[in-house]
Amino acid sequence: MPEKITRHHLEKPAYLYLRQSTMGQVRHHRESTERQYALKEKACRLGWPAESVRILDGDLGLSGAAATLREDFKTLVADVSMRKVGAVFALEASRLSRSNTDWHRLLELCALTGTLIIDEDGCYDPAEFNDQLLLGLKGTMSQAELHFLRARLQGGKVNKARKGELRTPLPVGYVYDEMGRSVLDPNEEVRAALATVFRTFQETGTAYGVMQHFRRHGLEFPKRAYGGVWNGKLLWGRLSHNRVLGVLKNPTYAGVYGYGRYTLEKRLAADGSIQSTIVCNPVEAWTVLLKEHHEGYISWETHVQNQQVLANNRTNTQALPSAAREGLALLQGLLVCAQCARHVTVRYTSNGGISHRSTAAITPTTVAAPLPPRKPNHTG
């Protein structure tokens, strides 16, 4: 038994932390899983009773890049901070965390509470300078390894995308041929439905106009299923407004191959957690844009014009209301909410009625009240 393990450590339970990055690794890389569970035998050989060894395997299939979704890692950190743990067993440093922030936080707590960290290479006491230096280096290498893996994989994807050969799920109306090229769907009904969408948009100039045209004439729109028992099947159903926007904004229908249309942005939430949101990039920021990559339903010029029409149709992005539009409402753009200083908006119901949206009651007194300082925006 190593000299660093004392009676003080053996009196507390040993925690075995298990983790693999994806469920695919859990299902197919069974050897790694078995090696991690075998750490319990090592803990028993080092002096811990079998009943004092607690296995934390709830994070199997989760990435170690962040601790947000790893509940067992949070449990480990909490119990270490409350001096409930004698030693933490892990196959290697990367199993505990691939984030320097989480790793060094755990090291600091282990140093303060006298908790040991044990892996396949040895036993470490984070309270000792040399061990802390070595563990810090292991954590840094673990995070660097993740960066290199990502850079290598992303570089391969970008290189293939620049040649227009990176295969992604195609939108309805396109299929891959035997050569792996994007071609029009051989189903005439599918092609006709898409042609109707673009033709009707040219006539009406609005996405709602396209949706109403399909419903008025009893037309259905196709959808290609991906994954599950319906994988690859063509499903027909009602055309929604969001679906129309998705078709009109997709450059694939203009014969364009695009890569890098979206990026993932991380933001700090109010509760301190890190949340990821998908952001749509402008065309000039795309990594790859290959025109005439395949046959399109419309031209690239028509696609650009459609985007301008859709942008002009939006009224919820204007800082101040523009000229009054059609409708039955009076004083459009003139009523102001006394609670939030926002302009009162008008919503028309399907039966032609009008409803005003505001958190403050719309009365002469409310409208005439002096405007307070701006507060967080709410519907109004």
DSSP bridge partners of 345: 357
Encoded tokens for 294: 């395949």
CA distances, 350 to each of 212, 319, 324 (Å): 12, 27, 20
Q: Which residue has the tokens 């700090």?
A: 268
Task: Look up 52 and say whether it is catalytic.
Answer: no
Encoded tokens for 213: 């045209």
Q: Which residue has the tokens 């990435």?
A: 63
Catalytic residue among 21, 97, 99, 182: 21
Q: Which residue has the tokens 């962040």?
A: 66
Just list the catalytic residues: 21
